[in-house]
Amino acid sequence: MKIVSIKIKNYRVFENIEIKNIPAFCVMIGANGTGKSTLFDIFGFLRDALKNNIRQALQIRGGFNEVVTRGKQNEDIEIELKFRMEILSTERLVTYVLVVGQHRQKPIIKREILRYKRGEYGSPFHFLDFQHGQGYAIKNEEDFKSDEELEREEQQLESADILALKGLGQFQRFKAANAFRSLIENWHVSDFHISDARGSKDALYAEHLSPTGDNMAVVAQYIYQEHPEVFEEILKRMQARVPGVSKVEAKNTEDGRLILKFQDQAFKDPFIDRYVSDGTMKMFAYLILLFDPKPHPLLCVEEPENQLYPSLLQKLAEEFASYAHRGGQVFVSTHSPYFLNAVPLDSIFWLIKDQGITKIQKATDSETLINLVEAGDLPGYLWNQGWFEGVAP
Ligand SMILES: Nc1ncnc2c1ncn2[C@@H]1O[C@H](COP(=O)(O)OP(=O)(O)OP(=O)(O)O)[C@@H](O)[C@H]1O
Ligand SMILES: [Mg+2]
């Protein structure tokens, strides 16, 4: 899957934005409070809404009135995602629309649509369309020839704050809903905490790093056992980046738990994860995440530069980019010119806030930036020198 455009209305600082032609690797820059975290939270919001319901997804963010753009309390929150996705072996340009409003002080889903074109021409067809908990989904999406043969299945959802995607997406017969639901479930919005990654863990099976990183030892062991060549590569990179680190191992403790041990070549006994440095833990976590043999369809990471030595950031940026090229779309926010130096100009988005409302611009909207980079300047230096300030209106 690849998201190609995002439209947002009335979600916190985003009163009305549209980002088009989104590349596989996106890097967001902008002053504090311009909305980088908010943009990633849109993905988290959809995931939470799918897991529970809209009311709960809003509640953990302070409720509808807190989330809706200030001064727009009487309007709806609208999210529209366009993405390329394979449905029954055919790539489709799919649009998902979600309109959330309030009814008698309670948040409800006013409209939810999933649509795509069946052929080159013609207007897109609604394969799922719900209003206030009632609507339909098409159950013979791919085997009909004309619109008359479409089989609609009318449905009433349990309540108007549940996504139809959640209710119907679990059924195989609703192909588009089913495929999109499973994609959202596999989005990874990182909320890594070094402290969670430390300490012994029950050796429960896991193939992917959790958002907080609390299963890092388990995933490291999985990669070591099932993908030894990948683990070897991760180790090689750790050795090159963190002075002294010669080996990392996931070790079973006597009570059947797992712990990470970091060997420093200068000493005989390794250090357990509790006692290695923050940056060592962080770098290992990124390598485990980015060398994942099965990339997430969407990966969001905030300020990966934190705790890391500046000269490591170029390689890290390249690793994020190659993850995106392996098939997982990547969104990163950064405050680091070192990181940005290694990012292609057409991956860079610039957030500007004016009177409490944010606009998003593409670095490649500016001829000046394009020319300067072509002449050999690096994006991070240009950013430091203020060249991004006047990107096209
Ligand atoms: N309902 C709302 N309406 C308008 N603005 C809001 C609303 N809720 C939050 N905000 C603003 O949105 C900003 C959130 O910004 P966010 O955390 O996304 O910034 P950021 O770009 O990640 O900043 P940083 O670089 O500091 O991490 C807050 O500073 C707040 O002022
Ligand atoms: Mg932030």
**pLDDT per residue as tens digits for the range 158-172:** 999 999 999 888 888
**Overall fold of domain 189-343:** Rossmann fold (3.40.50)
Among 197-201, 210-214, 295-299, 303-307, which is the least confidently predicted range? 197-201
Q: Report in angstroms the alpha-carbon separations of 235 from 197, 207, 208, 263, 337.
A: 18, 18, 18, 11, 27
391 has a pLDDT exceeding 80: no
Asked if residue 12 lies in contact with residue 69, where contact means CB atoms within 8 angstroms, the answer is yes
204 has a pLDDT exceeding 90: no
* Start-end of H helices in the chain: 36-51, 54-59, 64-67, 164-168, 175-185, 194-197, 216-226, 228-241, 278-290, 313-325, 337-341, 367-374, 379-384
Most confident among 124-128, 223-227, 255-259 (mean pLDDT): 223-227
Amino acid code (one letter) for 182: S
The DSSP string of 41-108 is HHHHHHHHHHHS-HHHHHHTTT-HHHHBPTT-TTS-EEEEEEEEEEETTEEEEEEEEEEEEEETTEEE
Per-residue pLDDT band for 178 (boundaries 50, 70, 90) equals confident
Measure the CA–CA gap between 289 and 279, rounded to whole angstroms. Answer: 15
Per cent of the chain over pLDDT 70 is: 97
Q: For residue 8, report the distance from its CA to the centre of ligand 1, in Å.
A: 15
Residue nearest to atom 27 of ligand 1 (CA): 32
Per-residue pLDDT band for 189 (boundaries 50, 70, 90) equals very high
Strands 25-30 and 329-333: parallel
Ligand 1 pocket test, pick from 38, 72, 300, 335 with the greatest ligand atom count within 8 Å of Cβ, gives 38
In the predicted model, what is the mean pLDDT of residues 75-98?
A: 91
Higher-confidence position of 89 and 375: 375
H or E element that contains 188: strand 188-189
Asked if residue 379 lies in contact with residue 343, where contact means CB atoms within 8 angstroms, the answer is yes
Measure the CA–CA gap between 334 and 347, rounded to whole angstroms. Answer: 12
Query: Tens digit of pLDDT for each residue in 333-368?
Result: 999 999 999 999 999 999 999 999 999 999 999 999
Higher-confidence position of 315 and 179: 315
Ligand 1 pocket test, pick from 34, 60, 189, 350 with the greatest ligand atom count within 8 Å of Cβ, gives 34
Ligand 1 pocket test, pick from 11, 16, 17, 37 with the greatest ligand atom count within 8 Å of Cβ, gives 37
Per cent of the chain over pLDDT 90 is: 75
Q: For residue 36, report the distance from its CA to the centre of ligand 2, in Å.
A: 5
67 has a pLDDT exceeding 50: yes
Amino acid code (one letter) for 20: K
Higher-confidence position of 151 and 302: 302
Ligand 1 proximal residues by C-beta, below 6 Å? 12-13, 30, 32-38, 66-70, 356
Q: Where are the domains of the chain?
A: 2-12+44-187, 189-343
Per-residue pLDDT band for 218 (boundaries 50, 70, 90) equals very high
Residue 148 DSSP one-character state: G
Task: Determine how many CB atoms are found less than 10 A away from the CB of residue 171.
Answer: 14
156 has a pLDDT exceeding 60: yes
Predicted pLDDT at 393 = 44
Q: For residue 350, report the distance from its CA to the centre of ligand 2, in Å.
A: 14
Q: For residue 225, report the distance from its CA to the centre of ligand 2, in Å.
A: 36
In the predicted model, what is the mean pLDDT of residues 7-14?
A: 98
In the predicted model, what is the mean pLDDT of residues 264-286?
A: 91
Predicted pLDDT at 143 = 66
Q: Which of 334, 336, 339, 338 is nearest to 349 (CA)?
A: 334
Within 13 A of 275's CA, how many CA atoms are on the CB side?
A: 8
Predicted pLDDT at 174 = 85
Asked if residue 268 lies in contact with residue 260, where contact means CB atoms within 8 angstroms, the answer is no
Supply the mean pLDDT for the chain.
Answer: 92
Q: For residue 250, report the distance from its CA to the centre of ligand 1, in Å.
A: 39
Query: Tens digit of pLDDT for each residue in 219-252?
Result: 999 999 999 999 999 999 999 999 989 989 888 8
